[in-house]
Structure 1
Amino acid sequence: MSAPAPPGPAVVDLLGLVALGELLAFERMAADARLAPDLRRRAALGEMAAAEIGNYRRLAGRLTALGVLPDDAMAPYVAPLQAYHDSTEPRDWAEAVTKAYVGDAITDDFLREIAVALTEPDRQLVLDVLHESRYAEFAAAEIRAAIELDPRVAGRLSMWARRLVGEALSQAGRVAAADRGALTALIAQGDQVDVQALFRRLTAAHTERMAAAGLNN
């Protein structure tokens, strides 16, 4: 019985992209925790950061098992992902939790859709590193609390959320160019993913998420 074929370059590229995203998210959340208004909230964001670095280790371990250096798999995506975080640095706690709520959720929705094109164990690994719902619930509750305290905050955070999405889409174009088309091929693999339907679902989920937090799309 022949051994199964190793994952193709698109899978390695995707794991590298997700691993870098987790690493940068850890750095960002650990830094943003200093914006928290009290120690309880600071600890909550710190726990979220700890989960991110744990996810990074799992992804890096899988890449290593495939015979790929994690640094090499992540390298093509450093510039666009770092540019996204540099251009969307929050000014206060409300912007920090909005970034965690909006930016991370869009990424999770995308990865959940793309995971269907993967085989095991990589499919389950990608699904496993998605953010837990309790983190989104925490961020949404913080946004609603900020709006209740000062209703004018809703407009500012809604604009901030739209900027986050715009920057994410802009850098996504750079990611597609950086990966030389491998991820695009994975997204459109076979008939498993209808790209137009995919983006409609992502948009609908984002709109629903914004409303749930008291923000305008």
Structure 2
Amino acid sequence: MLGTHDLWLFILSGLLLNMTPGVDTLYIVGRSSTQGFRAGFFAALGIGTGCLVHIFATTIGLSALLATSAMAFSIIKSIGAAYLIYIGITILRSTQTPLHVKTKTGHQTLKNIFWQGFLTNMLNPKVALFFLAFLPQFVDIASNNKALSMLFLGILFDINGTVWNIIVAWLSMVFISKLQAHHTFALWFNRSIGALFLALGIKLLHEEL
């Protein structure tokens, strides 16, 4: 289909990769657990939109630049790591728990959550390198338009990933809603998510190229 092969294997591999907890999952869980499903939903949409940037970048060759240019990779990595650290500190300092869900989720807040999710994904160079390494494996060598084939695979991966992230947002909301009577536990759970974000940002910042 559209110059691809082993599409079933691509879909299966993509789903398994999306189910592996990472930065995106932590962000969605953190937002959904503090501000409810709508916040997690918008976080998932933001991450999915950020993913599209990498998909189009891979298609036109920007990801190849990141793979071969140490300076470009270093700059993008540093910006992304700094943003992860910022998100981690923000969550750590937050005093919100599920008890505040109905009073703290205005339109502007959801808009900010969307853009934070977008930037969290877009500024992660590992996502670009992942698509560069993963997508070509399922493009037919005889394809007349390999760029279109990669674009198709990327969008399919993003749709599946976004659906999974929305499920994660809902599960996070359900899990935390059962802990509303345990305000202290919920608060420390959210802070642990912030600490993980902070640790990931520091790790990415110091990781060897």
Decide: shared fold, TM above 0.5.
no
TM-score (norm 2): 0.33
TM-score (norm 1): 0.32
